């Protein structure tokens, strides 16, 4: 909690918080896709030197785990478990526990299925990611970003 409050105070005192993570789509499906088709979306987090983000494994009393999900109300669903780069395991003295984290970059592959009733034409798969980044001194407040992946559904 102390690290979170430090980040909030620093953000207020210094203006905008740093943006140590950039999310991009490395691979998207080739068009067009038929209704009911399955494809993968590879989401990559590029993490600035000196910063890290935590794995998708929830940690009781620890840092906020990275969470990735598809937004509701779209003609796409997750078709399985999200595969991720193997995280680094280390002892975090601030939390007093073993944590799983990523430095440099991390890739997450989402298996996605086009709904049987998906309308034909251009669509967007909307992927939400919630995460927390820290360096060796502070943790920034948790953040959620939205990444859109263009997809064309066949007629």
Output 94 or 153, whichever has higher pLDDT.
153
Q: How many residues are listed for the chain in this entry?
A: 155
Q: Using 50, 70 and 90 to split pLDDT, how confident is the model at 8?
A: very low
pLDDT of 17 reads: 62
Average pLDDT over residues 19-23: 95
| Look-up of token digits 């068009």 | 31
Q: Residue 95's pLDDT is what?
A: 82
Q: Where does the chain show beta strands of DSSP type E?
A: 21-27, 38-47, 52-54, 67-70, 76-78, 83-84, 88-92, 97-102, 105-114, 121-131, 133-134, 143-153
Query: Would you say residue 4 has pLDDT above 80?
Result: no
Determine the pLDDT at residue 137.
86
pLDDT at 16 over 80: no
HEC sequence for 68-104 = EEECCCCCEEECCCCEECCCEEEEECCCCEEEEEECC
pLDDT (mean) for 62-72: 94
Q: How large is the average pLDDT for residues 69-94? A: 94
- Measured between alpha carbons, how far is 15 from 97 in angstroms, rounded to an integer? 31
**Phi, psi angle pair for 92, to nearest 5°:** -100, 115
Query: pLDDT band at 25, cuts 50/70/90?
Result: very high
* Dihedral over alpha carbons 87, 89, 91, 97 (to 10 degrees): 80
Q: Regarding the domain delimited by 2-153, which CATH topology (the fold level of the hierarchy) does it fall under?
A: Immunoglobulin-like (2.60.40)
- pLDDT digit string (tens) for 32-57? 999 999 999 999 999 999 999 999 99
Confidence of residue 9 (pLDDT cuts 50, 70, 90): very low
Q: Is the pLDDT of residue 15 over 60?
A: no
Mean of the per-residue pLDDT values of the chain: 88
């Amino acid at each position: 909690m102390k690290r979170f409050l430090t980040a909030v105070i620093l953000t207020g005192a210094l203006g905008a918080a740093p943006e140590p993570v950039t999310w991009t789509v490395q691979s998207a499906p080739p068009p067009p896709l038929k209704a009911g088709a399955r494809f993968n979306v590879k989401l990559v987090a590029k993490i600035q030197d000196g910063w890290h983000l935590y794995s998708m494994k929830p940690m009781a009393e620890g840092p906020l785990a990275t969470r990735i999900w598809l937004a509701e109300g779209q003609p796409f669903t997750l078709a399985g478990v999200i595969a991720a780069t193997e995280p680094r395991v280390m002892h975090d003295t601030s939390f007093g526990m073993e944590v799983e984290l990523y430095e440099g970059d991390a890739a997450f592959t989402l298996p996605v299925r086009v709904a049987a009733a998906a309308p034909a034409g251009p669509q967007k798969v909307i992927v939400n990611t919630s995460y927390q980044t820290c360096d060796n001194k502070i943790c920034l407040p948790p953040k959620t970003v939205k990444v859109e992946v263009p997809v064309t559904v066949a007629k």
